[in-house]
Amino acid sequence: MPAPRDDVVSDRSLRAPSGRRGSRSDSIPVQPDRPAAFVESGPSPPIIMAPPAPVPRPVWDWFPGPTWLVAMGGLVVGGLLARLLFGALSLQGGGVGVGGLVILGAVVVLVVRRMLHRRAKPPSMTAAAGASPPRKEPPPAPPTDLDRGLQAIRRADLRFEPAAFAGYAAMTFRDVERARVARDADSLRSRLTPEMYAELRAFCEELRTAGRSVRVDELDVDAEVTEAWQDGDQDYMTACVTGTIPTHTVDDATGTVVGGSRTTATAVKAFLTFTRPAGLNFWTLSIIQERRP
């Protein structure tokens, strides 16, 4: 039996050849950009609004009652005022009669009412509030590279949802870890590209030949889509998987821990890239790029 190789168990990341990320094989995966909505903040201060300024009450509102009653009262008052003012003229020259006095009094009442209405008219809402001209909304932010990639993928797959894909990426990561534990790559053969399947199978064979086993407890990971693009007729999608993995490697003969820890979980950040023929087709995992402290 060949001597056990420590690098098999100390670095469990799958070492992939170039070309596994299409045209982006030579580029570093994009780091996730957490939106501001995840930042906790204190409660907002209460908004205190000043009470509205009182609007002057029209003078004619001081006289309660129906409009026709106020008008009749105005005519009577106007007639009496006209008789007092022009009574002497009527007696001397016989000029203005009772009917003319009533009409003249009505005219006086209408003129006074019109003047009072203009003075009591409330100012415009803009002037009262001192409102400034409406602000122009800032132009929408230009689409990001991820937005453009998602739009290209949705042209042939209208129902594609990045959130559902992120869940699938996290599930695939867990299944790969379980395949390493079982040293069985065949269970994932249909979900891996041929190159990825050959690499995982070689990794499991190395563990079996070295007499080592990987132990993994419950995985606590989440995934977030970070990249999306097309190369010709191929779709590509990368998700960043982060979390902790309580894992360790033991020697099959002695049960001695030769890598990791039985009690301390390992932080992990892995970038999983998937590909498929453009359109409504099944995604297959093409590469895992892990970043572990």
Question: Could you tell me if 159 and 64 lie in one domain?
Answer: no
In a domain, 276, yes or no: yes
Question: Could you tell me if 149 and 286 lie in one domain?
Answer: yes
Question: Could you tell me if 116 and 169 lie in one domain?
Answer: no
In a domain, 66, yes or no: yes
Domain final residue pick, 71, 90, 124:
124
67-93 helix and 98-119 helix, angle to the nearest 10 degrees: 130
| Mean pLDDT in consecutive groups of 10 residues from the start of the chain, 293 residues | 40 48 86 51 45 55 49 58 56 54 60 62 52 77 92 93 96 94 93 95 93 87 95 95 89 87 86 95 94 53
Question: Could you tell me if 149 and 283 lie in one domain?
Answer: yes
Task: Read off the pLDDT of residues 59-113 as tens digits, 9 standing for 90 and up.
Answer: 545 444 445 455 555 555 556 655 655 555 554 555 555 555 556 656 666 666 6
In a domain, 205, yes or no: yes
**The pairing of beta strand 266-277 with beta strand 234-245:** antiparallel
In a domain, 130, yes or no: no
What is the C-alpha separation between 73 and 53, in angstroms, rounded? 32
Question: Could you tell me if 90 and 159 lie in one domain?
Answer: no
Q: Count Cα neighbours of 195 within 13 Å in the Cβ-side half-sphere.
A: 15
Question: Could you tell me if 69 and 206 lie in one domain?
Answer: no
In a domain, 52, yes or no: no
Question: Could you tell me if 172 and 111 lie in one domain?
Answer: no
Average pLDDT, the chain: 75
Amino acid at 160: F
Q: Could you tell me the two tokens for 90?
A: 């009527």
Question: Could you tell me if 150 and 285 lie in one domain?
Answer: yes
In a domain, 1, yes or no: no
Q: How many domains does the chain have?
A: 2
Could you tell me the sign of the dihedral formed by the alpha carbons of 17, 22, 24, 30, in that order? negative
Q: What is the DSSP letter of 203?
A: H
Q: Could you tell me the two tokens for 240?
A: 């960043």
Question: Could you tell me if 157 and 249 lie in one domain?
Answer: yes
Question: Could you tell me if 153 and 246 lie in one domain?
Answer: yes
Question: Could you tell me if 120 and 152 lie in one domain?
Answer: no
In this prediction, residue 220 carries a pLDDT of 87
Residue 94 structural domain: 60-124
In a domain, 53, yes or no: no
pTM of the model: 0.60
In this prediction, residue 34 carries a pLDDT of 54
In this prediction, residue 116 carries a pLDDT of 60
CATH of the domain at 155: 3.10.450.240
Question: Could you tell me if 206 and 277 lie in one domain?
Answer: yes
In a domain, 96, yes or no: yes
